Amino acid sequence: MEFIELVKLGTPFLVLGMLLFLERINTKVDSIGEHVREIRKGMTWQDTCTAKHEEINRRFIRLERKIPA
């Protein structure tokens, strides 16, 4: 009987806590989304292409170091 009363009395606080938590997360997600959109606006195809080539070259260099000549 005590458990049922605890659930009855605790549920509104639990739901309120979950709503506040979700609102807080939503604000952070929106902020991150805005930052991503700003980054994408300033990014050009050349930037992404160069970054990919640099990453590929870095991986090849690392693999060449591992393979004995």
Q: What would the pLDDT profile of 41-65 be if each residue is shown by its tens digit?
A: 877 777 778 888 898 999 888 888 8
The Cα 24–Cα 26 span in angstroms is 5
Is the per-residue pLDDT at 69 higher than 70? no
The Cα 49–Cα 25 span in angstroms is 33
Exposed/middle/buried for residue 45 (C-beta within 10 Å: 0-12, 13-18, 19+) = exposed
Q: How do the domains of the chain map onto residue ranges? A: 2-66
Q: What would the pLDDT profile of 4-25 be if each residue is shown by its tens digit?
A: 777 777 788 888 889 999 999 9
Residue 52 carries which DSSP code?
H
> 54 by DSSP, 3-state: which?
helix
